[in-house]
Amino acid sequence: MELKRKVLAYITQEEDGERKILVFEQKDHPEAGLQVPGGTIERDEFLMDALYREIEEETGITRDLLELQGKVNKTNYYPQDENIVYERNIFHLAYLGHESNDWEYRVEGDGKDAGMTFCHRWVPVKDLPKLAGNQGQDIDFI
């Protein structure tokens, strides 16, 4: 079985006494589903470097606007009918910025998401719909 190491970021903010989580959809491929920032840990890349790289690549949010909340939660995800296991390193981060509106962000760089536009929004954690690829499997972690 092939192992792929991943990072996932549960980025939250408090607004009017309610905790919200950052999610996004791919503008041109909404069928990919609702997701949280994250991706593959590159060969010889440190875990924290992968986390902050993926967040910035997919959202435009820089490391200085985030505060780590607690420790990593590690789980495995086994996609149905695939001979692969995803080792998921899930982090909870607080967003320190003040912007709470929806926004679009065009992914730069040379990765597989390059050129894609992601549509971001904040959703109350209590109302979070199902996330693609079972990304919400540890939502109770936050």
Domain ranges of the chain: 2-141
pLDDT for residue 51: 98
The predicted pLDDT at position 91 comes to: 97
Residues 106, 108, 96, CA angle at the centre, nearest 5°?
70
Q: pLDDT at position 37, please?
A: 98
Distance CA 85, CA 134 (A): 13
Report how far residue 4's alpha carbon sits from residue 83's, in angstroms, rounded to the nearest whole number. Answer: 11
pLDDT band at residue 118 under the 50/70/90 scheme: very high
Q: Does domain 2-141 have CATH number 3.30.1780.10?
A: no
Query: Cα(12)–Cα(45) distance, rounded to whole angstroms?
Result: 25
pLDDT at 15: 87
DSSP-derived 3-state class of residue 65: helix
Q: What is the pLDDT of residue 112?
A: 83
pTM: 0.93
- Indicate whether 55 pLDDT > 90: yes
Q: Note the pLDDT tens digit of each residue in 16-40.
A: 899 999 999 999 999 999 999 999 9
User: Average of pLDDT values for 108-133?
Assistant: 92
Q: Is the pLDDT of residue 98 over 90?
A: no
What does the angle CA 44 – CA 68 – CA 35 come to, to the nearest 5 degrees?
75
Residue range 119-129, pLDDT digits in tens: 999 999 999 99
Least Cα distance to 118 among 52, 32, 40, 19 occurs for 32
Residues 54 and 107: their CA atoms lie apart, in Å, by: 10
pLDDT at residue number 120: 97
Q: Residue 52: which H helix or E strand, with range?
A: helix 47-59
Q: Is the pLDDT of residue 81 over 90?
A: no
